[in-house]
Amino acid sequence: MRILVQKYGGTSVATEESREVLARSVIEAYEKGYGLVVVVSAMGRFGQPYATDTLLSLIENSKDAVPDREKDLLMSCGEVISSVVVASNLQAKGMKVSVLTGFQAGIKTTSNFGRARIINIDTTKIHSHLKQGQIVIVAGFQGMDENNDITTLGRGGSDTTAIALGIALEAVRVEIYTDVSGVMTADPRIAPQAYVIDKISYQELFQMTSKGAKVVHPRAVELAMQNHMPLLVATPSKADQGTLIIDTDNKRVFENEPVHVITAIANMNDLIQFNLQRLESNQAKLLYESLANAGVSLDLINIGIRGHNFVTKKSSYRHATAVFEKLKLEYQVIKNVSKVSCIGTGMHNQPGVLSQIVSTLVTNNIEIIQTSDSHMTITCLVYQDDAENAVRLLHQKFCE
């Protein structure tokens, strides 16, 4: 049996109209003869009654802190509701459907509530339903630990559920359906000329998503990349116009084949940069250990004779400064900065790319605070007020 895994995001299940589009997409795939597993997210975004953040808001004013175990119980409800609603729509159209929660689908996880990791999937029950000709709908974002407690996988968890199921079921492909037409060269709300990329490598997509593009969660992309799982990103109404994620390890590329130097531009806002000077080696060791223990994730780390620079999320400001003050370290901070990243495998061994990026920004009066590069990514840290203009200018320079 050829198995296909489809994942539908919150906007695809939020309204009657979007659920009709979803149903047509599912039925079309089923009629092609696939054994079909459909993973769904919770309905809609914050403010809509069954969205995950809306459910969490029910307990945010609780006088006593709600344990993470109970929070996971609450958060898992959104995907269960979506699963049943989507199933009822398909059943009304004459389809045979079976609904499974994450743990009923055999998804075993660690006990890290709110950020659990999948450690194994027992596909016996899913295969049983598929053999009966049923469409299997699985609630995304969740599983069960060794104590039979419900766990959730963290942000982007439904993407991870879909990829993990695709791997466990040896599916022919995983299809991620979102509210955008595919992986785009930039955020179209910022760069109106952005367009859908027909094909992109796992490595490029991972860099895009880790640098701020929100089309697929980076954790899910990494899982697909490690297991060479074929992947499509599209919108349900235009599946044939989406983006195929390809495995460059199995693709022949000749030196005379034209390639884009830069495939896409991504950006990430709400960051802060810290600078600490005059750190002795023992202080530096204690600093980074303390930041890690405080749960502060660092990016764009630069250590040199002029001090230690690094970037973190604005939400980590209090935790980071508490560490500095406890260690009695002096620091400077630049708030409201953004990362603007140029991504593309074509820039490897291409001289002059950084020069063009710097020239494009500087000649348009955009100050570069810091840079970082790898073999397929060049990132510039800029003031947040300049970020959108930087994206537009770089997109115009390299992608249009």
Answer whether residue 252 shows pLDDT above 50: no
Q: Residue 98, SS3?
A: strand
**Residue 158 neighbours by CB distance under 10 Å:** 28
Which pLDDT value is given to residue 249?
A: 54
Please give the pLDDT value at position 181: 87
C-alpha distances in Å from residue 216, one per residue of 40, 160, 221, 230, 251: 14, 9, 7, 14, 23
Residue 70's pLDDT is 93
- Please give the torsion angle defined by the CA atoms of residues 235, 239, 245 and 251, in that order, rounded to the nearest 10 degrees: -160
Q: Does position 61 have pLDDT exceeding 90, yes or no?
A: no
How confident is the prediction for the chain on average, in pLDDT?
91
Q: What is the mean pLDDT of residues 90-110?
A: 97
pLDDT at 338 over 90: yes
d(CA 324, CA 327): 5
pLDDT tens digit string along 343-387?
A: 998 887 678 899 999 999 999 999 999 999 888 899 999 999 999
Q: pLDDT tens digits for 136-185?
A: 999 999 999 999 999 999 988 999 999 999 999 999 999 999 888 899 99
Using alpha carbons, select from 229, 384, 227 the residue that is nearest to residue 311.
384
pLDDT at 305: 80
Question: What pLDDT does residue 254 have?
Answer: 45
Going by pLDDT thresholds of 50, 70 and 90, the confidence category of residue 266 is very high
Identify which has the larger pLDDT, 387 or 64: 387
What does the pLDDT average to over 44-73? 85
CB 161 within 8 A of CB 96: no
For the stretch 2-35, pLDDT in tens is 999 999 998 899 999 999 999 999 999 999 999 9
Under the banding of pLDDT at 50, 70 and 90, the label for residue 44 is: confident
Return the pLDDT at 184: 94
Mean pLDDT of 42-47: 85
Lowest mean pLDDT of 51-65, 107-121, 249-263, name the range. Answer: 249-263
226: pLDDT strictly greater than 90: yes
pLDDT score recorded for residue 63: 57
Instruction: State the pLDDT confidence band at 83, using cuts at 50, 70 and 90.
Output: very high
For strands 307-313 and 264-276, give the pairing. antiparallel
- Residue 260: pLDDT over 80: no
Q: Which amino acid would we find at residue 140? A: G
Q: What is the rounded CA–CA span in Å between residue 312 and residue 297?
A: 6
Cα separation, 142 vs 92, in Å, equals 27
Q: What is the pLDDT of residue 306?
A: 79
How would residue 256 be classed by pLDDT, with cut points 50, 70 and 90?
very low
pLDDT interval class at 238 (50, 70, 90): confident
What pLDDT is attached to residue 255? 46
Q: How confident is the model at residue 248 (pLDDT cuts 50, 70, 90)?
A: low
- Please give the domain boundaries of the chain with CATH numbers for all domains: 3-179 (3.40.1160.10), 264-398 (3.30.2130.10)
- What pLDDT does 23 receive? 96
